[in-house]
Amino acid sequence: MTANVAGYLLQMLASRWLGVTGYSEFASLLAVQLLCAVPALALQNVVARERVRGADVAALRGLQWRCAVIVAIVAAVLVPVVTAVLSVGVLASAAALGAAPALVLLSGEQGILQGSRRFRALAIVLGAAGVARVVPALVVLAAGGGTAPALWAAAIGVVVAAAFARSTAGSPASRVRAPATQRSPDVTPEGPPGGAAAAGAMPGFTVEGPTPATEGGAGTRDDDRPSGERPPAQERDVFEDEAARSRCENAAEPAAEQPWLGGAADGSAAGRRTRGTSGRAAQSVRSVGVLPVLRAAQVQAALMALSSADLIVARVVLDEADASRYALGAIAAKIAFWLPQAVGVVLYPRMAQPTHSARAIRDALAVLSGIGIIAVVGAALAAPVAPLFAGQDYAPIEGLLWLFALQGALLAVLQGALLSAIAVDRTALAAVTWLGLAIEVVLMTCFARSVPTMITTAVGVAAATTMFVAVIVLRTADRSGTAEPGVSG
């Protein structure tokens, strides 16, 4: 919430300080920056998903550095392209694109926290990142700086936020054990025969901070609870038992190499099961590469493009004043879009677990729809006071703010549906969103020549795309839920 409020404050004050003629450049470059954040958002989702499945933190950090290098190269190539297409300064374009590699590193650390269910630490990082990005830009704008200096200040803030996120996520120090029901009979609380000191951490069990507390004992937990404090029973069932089961079922080394896991030498059924699950996990842990990030990135790219394309097209087809008014109205869309961000953050780890995925998807879409309705009503009621903050030059869009909020609310539901697709690695669904984007751009470019026409087109495309994707996701979740024994809801 802190990050979102800071972002909205930046746009509101920038619209006043830069004026109706200067804000269009700033807003269009912010839209480009959002598109450049696509690899970062995709990386966060992939890292969180693989962390839930037991991937090693060191391997995930190696992945985020590889992605950051790729993004830096692409961003450098795109600087002259953005400068020419949007008719903006080269320094401003470089500033908007230059933040992309740092955003990748920041999002990678956020994915580690999210997948580890350290939501308190994640909330601190998200809030700090929003403040670190916005405050330097506000200081520059307040001092009379233009678009380029403000965006460079924001980019430096992102670098600082990435370093803070890395420090907060920290380095894992010991193993996490599976529940007793999931361990091999030969595995004792002290580890394999011979003791933990002789064998070290159990292969395949994710390293992440001190060992969780045992019954009546103390320890540090993934969700940042104080030592010895036990969570509610339902939360333990959902977040701890399933996480430990996922780690146990994804052991990193075959049992044949670890006789103390049981069954490796005698060929028993238990041994065959252990070898099968451990083999799958070894492949899962070692196969975390750039390809899953690219698959998730094309989903995020479709969503971010659909949420930002209208701002970029407005810069091309509308005059300077109307483009700035449309950009200010789009703040209402961004508020409605990002307001329920925490819903996806909290429910995403459950979406990535087959036994809870269907219920988590239904819960997410229901909550997002409810928040969207509240956002649209709030925008309609607050519309008369908008010119007081932004200036009377923006009064012509006062009656359209509820439409902008509706667009953002629809895209928030679409984001929840697409997140569920990433969680189960069914990213082909993004094709529907890409089709919606193409239709929107064609319609706006050919027919939209005013603010009302632009936003009406955007809302219509967002509604059709969201409805189609949501229906597919819900039907797929229902089929998957009936196929899983013991799934509730």
Alpha carbons 433 and 472: distance in angstroms, whole number: 12
* Amino acid sitting at position 7: G
Alpha carbons 438 and 302: distance in angstroms, whole number: 10
Alpha carbons 465 and 468: distance in angstroms, whole number: 5
pLDDT at 215 over 50: no
Q: Tens of pLDDT along 301-324?
A: 888 889 888 988 998 899 888 888
DSSP class of 37: T
Percentage above 70 pLDDT, the chain: 71
Alpha carbons 315 and 442: distance in angstroms, whole number: 15
Residues 176 and 248 sit within 8 Å (Cβ to Cβ)? no
Q: What angle do CA 480, 341, 55 make, to 5 degrees?
A: 60
Band of residue 482 on the pLDDT scale cut at 50, 70, 90: low
pLDDT at 327 over 80: yes
pLDDT attached to residue 4 = 65
pLDDT attached to residue 1 = 59
Q: Tens of pLDDT along 155-211?
A: 999 999 999 999 999 865 433 343 444 333 433 334 444 443 333 333 333 333 333
pLDDT attached to residue 285 = 42
pLDDT attached to residue 35 = 80
* Average pLDDT value for residue range 403-409: 95
- Please state the pTM of the whole predicted model: 0.60
Q: Which of 79-88, 100-109, 244-253 has the lowest mean pLDDT?
A: 244-253
Rg (CA), the chain: 24
Alpha carbons 135 and 157: distance in angstroms, whole number: 8
Decide which of 148 and 296 is more confident.
Answer: 148
Residues 113 and 122 sit within 8 Å (Cβ to Cβ)? yes
Residues 104 and 64 sit within 8 Å (Cβ to Cβ)? yes
* Average pLDDT value for residue range 364-377: 93
Decide which of 186 and 330 is more confident.
Answer: 330
* Amino acid sitting at position 366: A
Residue labelled with tokens 């403000």:
150
* Amino acid sitting at position 311: L
pLDDT attached to residue 308 = 86
Q: Which of 159-168, 356-365, 448-457 has the lowest mean pLDDT?
A: 356-365
Decide which of 480 and 66 is more confident.
Answer: 66
pLDDT at 73 over 50: yes
pLDDT attached to residue 297 = 82
CA 3 from centre of chain = 14
* Average pLDDT value for residue range 52-69: 89
CA dihedral 99, 423, 341, 221 (to 10 degrees): -90
pLDDT at 85 over 80: yes
Q: Which of 172-176, 353-357, 420-424, 454-458 has the lowest mean pLDDT?
A: 172-176
| 3-state class percentages of the chain: helix first, strand second, coil last, to nearest 5 | 75, 0, 20
Residue labelled with tokens 């988590």:
360
Bridge partners for 191 per DSSP = 188
Handedness of CA 310, 312, 317, 322 (dihedral sign): positive
For residue 396, what are the contacts with CB-CB under 8 A and spacing of at least 6? Answer: 325, 451
pLDDT at 355 over 60: yes
Alpha carbons 411 and 299: distance in angstroms, whole number: 13
Alpha helices in 37-89 (DSSP H): 38-52, 57-86
Q: Tens of pLDDT along 237-283?
A: 444 444 444 444 443 333 333 333 333 434 444 444 444 444 444 44
